[in-house]
A and B are shown apart, each in its own frame.
Chain A
Amino acid sequence: MSKIVSIHSFRGGTGKSNTTANTAVLMAMEGKRVGVIDTDIQSPGIHVLFGMDEKHIKYSLNDYLWGKCEIEEAAYDVTSYLNANIKGKVFLIPSSIKAGEIARVLREGYDIGLLNDGFQDLIDKLNLDVLAIDTHPGLNEETLLSIAVSDVLAIILRPDNQDYQGTGVTVEVARKLDVPNMVLIVNKVPQVFNPDAVKAQVENAYKCPVAAVLPHSDEMMALASGGIFSLHYPDHPVTAEYKRLTTTLLAV
């Protein structure tokens, strides 16, 4: 049974793309076929973590949304780029990184129904176990759709008062859309904080389970999106939390 997992946050810079990429790779290491779709069309970036740049991308999600290709033609098997022992597969569906195409989306928009069709077609045509959606922060048409179609919604926040308020909005939206499973991920937690206390505080505030408390990591900052963190630092505490999160996302 395939599932759609959306990774969302109300504000930018919370670590959505890193979390999406790392959990996708860890799922693939367990033998799963995982699709990662970058629906952050206005500010795409997850392709960088997989070592892709413009010259690798013939078709993007933008081309599919404008009727220039089938959705599977915009999917790239990035498993071999990872140089790791991966039993499953990771497919990436990037958004365009061409300035003109980003501007065109901002100016014209696109058919939201086509994006919905694309999610299901990807699962069927690539025989995916999991489709992970890396969303645009905040709320707009595509994030509302991504939340609505999710079997599991993972909302990321930092221990920051602006994030706390925004997360409340997202949780409220997800509840109105009746998302079947929702978890919170607290990211970039200063190491002086007690993770158990953070988890308890957040769970109490939102009445929603916390699936991971990821500590702030200088190694993550130093890697600077230069790869998949859990492959570079397999024994790091952040990787341990990513693994715990992956287990939770696969189990719900």
Chain B
Amino acid sequence: MSAELFERLQRELVSLDEASNLTMTAVFMLPKALTKLLSWIIRNKRVQIEDLAAYFEQPVETVQPIIDSLVSKKFIERTDEIGETYYQVNLGTQRTKPAPSGKDPW
């Protein structure tokens, strides 16, 4: 992603509400730069801050606040594993359709 798209992402983030029930359709409907970023993370499954900095072609210290903002808005989630921090898209916390109530006929 170019510096130009990074700037665009920063602008997009200002007006974004917190994500809830993030589906692929929701990812697709997001503003362009954020869709590109989330798709890239999904393709890589999970990434570290250095990967994100390389993707944005920006220093880690510039990228970190944006990533922290995306974590706080629940677009991506942070996991810590053996002293390493990973980021992945907060996808699939819900089923594609809500499960119905009542007896399962199947």
Using CB atoms and an 8 Å cutoff, list the residues of chain A in contact with chain B. 100-101, 103-104, 107-116, 120, 141-142, 144-145, 148-151, 173, 176-180
State the CA gap A177–B25 with chains docked (Å): 11
Q: In the assembly, what is the distance between CA of A137 and CA of B104, in Å?
A: 28
Identify the closest chain B residue to A179 (Cβ): B39
* Cα distance, A86 to B34, chains bound together (Å): 43
Q: How far is the CB of B25 from chain A (nearest CB, A)?
A: 6
B86 to chain A, nearest CB (A): 13
User: In the complex, what distance in Å separates the CA atom of A111 from the CA atom of B43?
Assistant: 17
Minimum C-beta distance from A87 to chain B (A): 29
Q: In the complex, identify which listed stretch (B9-17, B62-70, B87-95) lies at the interface while the others stay far away.
A: B87-95
24 contacts between A and B (CB under 8 A): A100-B106, A103-B106, A107-B97, A108-B97, A108-B99, A109-B96, A110-B95, A111-B95, A111-B96, A112-B24, A113-B92, A115-B92, A116-B92, A141-B24, A141-B96, A145-B24, A148-B24, A148-B43, A149-B43, A173-B28, A176-B28, A176-B32, A177-B28, A177-B39
Partner of B91, one of A100, A116, A120, A180: A116
CA distance A177 to B43 in the complex (A): 10
A112/B91 in contact, CB under 8 A: yes
CA distance A151 to B94 in the complex (A): 26
Is B76's CB within 8 Å of the partner chain A? no
Bound CA–CA A113/B95 (angstroms): 9
Residues in A neighbouring B25, C-beta threshold 8 A: 141, 144
Chain A binding surface SS class: helix
* Interface residue? B52 (CB, 8 A): no
> 7 smallest A-B Cβ distances: which pairs?
A113-B92, A109-B96, A109-B97, A144-B24, A100-B106, A177-B39, A112-B92
List A contacts of B95 (CB < 8 A): 108-111
CB-CB nearest in chain B for A173: B28
Q: Is the CB of A104 within 8 A of B42?
A: no
Residues from chain B with Cβ under 8 Å of A145 in the complex: 24, 42
Chain B positions within 8 Å of A142 at CB level:
24, 96
Specify the chain B residue showing the minimal Cβ separation from A143: B24
Chain B 39-70 per-residue mask, 1 if CB under 8 angstroms from chain A, else 0: 11011010000000000000000000000000
Chain A residues with Cβ below 8 Å from B43 are 148-151, 180
B58, chain A: closest CB distance, angstroms: 17
Given A113-B91, A141-B96, 13 other A-B contacts at CB below 8 A? A108-B95, A108-B98, A108-B100, A109-B96, A112-B24, A114-B92, A116-B92, A142-B96, A144-B25, A148-B24, A148-B43, A149-B43, A178-B36
